[in-house]
Amino acid sequence: MLSASRIKKIEDILPSSRIISSPAALLTYSTDASNLIGSPDIAVLPRNTEEVSKLLAWSYKERATVIPRGSGTGVTGGAVPVSGGMVLCLSQMDRILEIDRSNMLAVVEPGVITGDLQDEVEKLGLFYPPDPSSLKACTIGGNIAENAGGPKALKYGVTRDYCLGLEIALLDGQILHTGTRTQKSVVGYDLTRLLVGSEGTLGVITKVFLRLIHRPDAVCTMQAKFSSVEKAVAAINEIFRMGIIPSVMELMDEKSIKCVSSYLDLDFPKDKGAMLLIEVDGKPDNVREQADRIKTLLTCVFSEEVEEALTEEDREGIINFRRSISPAIYRIGKNKINEDICVPRDRLADCFGGLQKIAEKFDLKMANFGHAGDGNIHVNIMIDDKTKDGARAEAAVREIFKMTLAMGGTISGEHGIGVTKAPYLGMELDASSIRIMKEIKASFDPLGLLNPGKIFHNHPQMASSL
C-alpha cells in the first residue's frame, strides 16, 4: 500500500485534478474488459512525456508499482492492478502530432483512439489497417502493448506490421527511442518489435511512429450462408486456391448466428449452420473481378446463398451483424470466458469439430466465431453460475488449448497473456524461452515494478474469477 505521505509527493509532478485517489473514482481504473477487479492505490493522468518520465522516476525511487493503461478494452486483464500501486492512465495523451503524406507515416501519442486515427488519415487518402473490434474506444498505445489484430489482419497484418518506432519511458524515467521514420532499418536489435506486444511490462509508451498505406479505391462486401461450418471452411480454402486474398473473411457458427439473429430481431434461415463475411478491396476492376469469382464459386460449386452489399447501408448491415456477436451471446449465458486461439488455416474444420466435442463433453454452451482467413477463432464459453460451472469451464479451456497446440496453433492470436492466460503459458513455451523472456524483463525492470503480475505470474483465484 502507498502511504498518504508518499502519494503526496506526486502533487509536485501533477495538479491534484489529475490525481485520482478516492475509492469510488478508482473503480474506473480497477478493471478492464476482462471483468477482473484489482485495487489500485492511486491513478494519475499525465499529458506529456516529461510528466510520464517524472512519474516513473518517482515510482522507481519509492519502489511503487506502475500499471500503464489506455481505455481498458483488453480482455486478458493486462490493465488490472493485481497488487495495488499506481495506475498510469495515458488517455489524456491523445494528440495526433503529425500525418506525413510524403513519407506515409503518422506520429501519435498513445492515448489516440484507433478509429479516430483511421478517420483522419482516410481524409487524406491514406489508410491505417489494424482494426480491433473495439476500435472506436481502444487506444493506439493499448494496441501496441497487446499487438492488436482484427478482421483486416488477413490481408494487411497486425499492429506490429505498422509500428516503425517508439518513444518509451523506462522505469527510472529515462527516455528510450527505438526504430526510425524510414521503412527500413537494420541497426542493432529490433527493440521496436520486442516492445510491441510486451503488455506494459518493459516500459511506458509515450509516442508512436506508424506506417500508413494508400486507402483502397474500392471495396465489395458479401455475406454467404452455409449449411455447415465444414462447407464454409471448404469454401475458404477454395477462395485461397484461386489466388484471392480477401481483406476480411469472418466466420460465424450456428450458435453465434442464432444469438445475433435474436439480438437484432432478424429472420436468419434456420437451415444455415455457418456464415461468412467476405470483403475484397483494391482497384475497382480487380475488386469486381474477385467478387464475381467468389460469388460464382459459392453459388455454382457450393450451392450457397450470397448477398452482396450494393449500398453503404447494406454494407453496414452486414458488418453490424458480425460486430453484434459479443453483446448478443450473453443471451445464452450471464458470464463469458473469451479465448482467441489460432490454428493453421487447413485445420479450421478439425478445430471447429473439436470445439463442438469439448462443449458436449463438459456440457457447456459455446459460441465460436472469428477471423477464419488467418485461423484466429474466438471461443466463447458462456456460463450462468461461476460456482457451479467454473471448474468445468476451466477444464474445457485447458483441453481447448491442448487441442490447439496439437494442431500447430497458439493459445493467443491477438489478446495477449495478461492475467487470465498466465496459468497456461508453459503449455506453449518451453522453459528456455520463458527463462530468456524473464531475463529480458529483468533487464528493463530489475525491480519488477512495471505492470507486475502479468504474463509470467499465476494468480489462480483471479484468473478463474471470470
Average pLDDT rounded to a whole number, residues 143-158:
96
For residues 160 and 304, membership in a common domain is answered with no
DSSP three-state, residue 449: coil
The pLDDT-based confidence of 363 (bands split at 50, 70, 90) is very high
The rounded distance, in Å, linking the Cα atoms of 286 and 218 is 9
- Residue with the three cell numbers 496439437: 406
The rounded distance, in Å, linking the Cα atoms of 181 and 155 is 23
For residues 289 and 379, membership in a common domain is answered with no
Average pLDDT, the chain: 94
Answer whether residue 115 is part of any domain.
yes
For residues 385 and 321, membership in a common domain is answered with no
For residues 76 and 129, membership in a common domain is answered with yes
What's the domain range around 227? 218-326
Answer whether residue 141 is part of any domain.
yes
Answer whether residue 450 is part of any domain.
no
Average pLDDT rounded to a whole number, residues 233-246:
95
How many helices (DSSP H) and strands (DSSP E) are in the chain?
17, 18
The CATH number of the domain holding residue 400 is 3.30.70.2740
Average pLDDT rounded to a whole number, residues 254-274:
91
- Look up residue 417 and give its amino acid: I
Average pLDDT rounded to a whole number, residues 380-396:
92
For residues 22 and 142, membership in a common domain is answered with yes
- Residue with the three cell numbers 489466388: 243
* pLDDT for the residue 268: 83
The CATH number of the domain holding residue 301 is 3.30.70.3450
Name the grid cell of 28.
474506473
For residues 310 and 339, membership in a common domain is answered with no
Is the pLDDT at 466 greater than 50, yes or no? no
Instruction: Tell me the pTM.
Output: 0.94
Reported as a single tens digit per residue, the pLDDT across 327-347 is 999 999 999 999 999 999 999
Q: Partners of 253 in the beta sheet?
A: 274
The pLDDT-based confidence of 267 (bands split at 50, 70, 90) is confident
Answer whether residue 465 is part of any domain.
no
For residues 305 and 340, membership in a common domain is answered with no
For residues 228 and 359, membership in a common domain is answered with no
The rounded distance, in Å, linking the Cα atoms of 449 and 84 is 11
Domain boundary pick from 283, 307, 326: 326
* pLDDT for the residue 465: 40
Angstrom CA distances, 101 to 1, 105, 106, stand at: 48, 7, 9
Domain boundary pick from 215, 249, 266: 215
Q: Partners of 175 in the beta sheet?
A: 169
For residues 171 and 223, membership in a common domain is answered with no
The CATH number of the domain holding residue 93 is 3.30.465.10
Answer whether residue 340 is part of any domain.
yes
Q: What percent of the chain has pLDDT over 90?
A: 91
Structural domain count, the chain: 3
For residues 187 and 272, membership in a common domain is answered with no
Reported as a single tens digit per residue, the pLDDT across 151-201 is 999 999 999 999 999 999 999 999 999 999 999 899 999 999 999 999 999
Average pLDDT rounded to a whole number, residues 1-29:
91
